[in-house]
Amino acid sequence: MLDDARDLARRIVEIAENATLSKVWRSLEPFSRTYITLVVPGADPQWSADLHTPILHALLARDTDAVVAALNEFLAPDAVPSPRRE
C-alpha cells in the first residue's frame, strides 16, 4: 500500500512539471513522508489510504477539474482532522 501511494504521488508531481513542487517532494524523502502520515501514535493507515480515493477516481475519469479539486482538498491544511485508531 505504501509503495503504491508513493508511486502515485511521485507520478502526480512529475506530471505537474512544477519545479517548486518537485523540489519540496524530493526534500521530504520517503521515510519522512511515511513517518509523518502513518507511524505517529494513533495513525489510521486505512483512513490515510482512503483519502486518496477521490484523486484516483478523478484520474481514472481523466477529469482535470476533478483532479485539481481532489488534490486541493487533499492538500488543504486542516481540511480533515487526522483520526486516531481506536
- 9-13, 25-29, 65-69: range with lowest mean pLDDT: 25-29
pLDDT at position 75, please? 78
pLDDT at position 66, please? 95
* DSSP state string for 44-80: -HHHHHHTTHHHHHHHHHT-HHHHHHHHHHHHSTTSS
pLDDT, average across residues 42-59: 86
What residue spans define the domains of the chain? 2-75
d(CA 32, CA 15): 22
Q: Under a CB-based contact definition with an 8 Å cutoff, are residues 83 and 47 in contact? A: yes
Q: Of the spans 43-47, 51-55, 62-66, which averages the highest pLDDT?
A: 62-66
Split at pLDDT 50, 70, 90, the class of 73 is confident
Residue 41 in 3-state DSSP? coil
